[in-house]
Structure formats: structure tokens, C-alpha cells
Amino acid sequence: MIKNEKIFLPPQGDESDFKELFKRLAAAGAGRPLGKDGVPAGPWTPELLAEAISQIDSNRIGVDLRTVQLWFQENEKGISTANIRWLARVFGCDDPAATSEWQMELSAAQSRLSAKRREWKRAGSSVAQEIPDTA
């Protein structure tokens, strides 16, 4: 779908966590402008996404490239509330209604990632308790 001459993917409302959702949207190039030939410009890279977020008019401080790189990596790192707002603006293609929908979707996905992280830590601590100390 095209919105404001950018690739628009509506929120799916599935149970993806932030990492899963972000990976899918970045690969699809959601929010990227169309090329001169009307064809999608390709997937997001950390550099392109950091630049796009930093160019948002109301975002005076931008976003650190290292922060964006962490979103692309397989790790337990999520996303801050402030950065959810900027990422929603990118994925929503500067459309206020779509941005609002993406902000809700990204917030819910971040909450699911946080819940998974807590579960991993809980599972990890119970495993550690079961292993006898041989030292």
C-alpha cells in the first residue's frame, strides 16, 4: 500500500514482540519513500532509519545510530517510549491516524518483549537454583 508516497503496511494486531515486528517491517521497507520509478526503495538499514528519524521536524535531538543498530540485532534490548513515537511516525508514513495506530502496535509489541524478558530471567534463575554448586 502507498501512503504519502511511502510504503505503508497497516498494523496486523498479531502477538509479535517488538523484535519480531521490527524485523518484519524493516525488511519490507515500511515507511520508506518510493523510488523515482515508483518502486519501493528497499529495506531499511540502521543508517537509513536513523537518518529518517532524525529528519522528523519535531525531533530536535534525533536518534543515535547505535540505538537503531540495537533494534536490528538479536538481543533482549527493546525500544524507549520516545523512540516508539518516532518509529511510529516513520511506519505511519507521517499520517496522524496511521502513526497513532503504529504507536499503539509498537507499544504493545514492546510490552510483549518485556514480558518475555521477565519470563526468560525467571526461567534462568530457577535453572540456576537447580544446578548444585560444586565449587
pLDDT in tens, 107-122: 999 999 999 999 988 8
pTM of the model: 0.85
Q: For residues 88 and 95, what is the distance between their CA atoms, to the nearest angstrom?
A: 10
88, 80, 90: which is closest to 113 by C-alpha? 80
Q: What is the pLDDT of residues 61-103, one digit of tens each?
A: 889 999 999 999 999 899 999 999 999 999 999 999 999 999 9
User: Which amino acid is it at 24?
Assistant: R
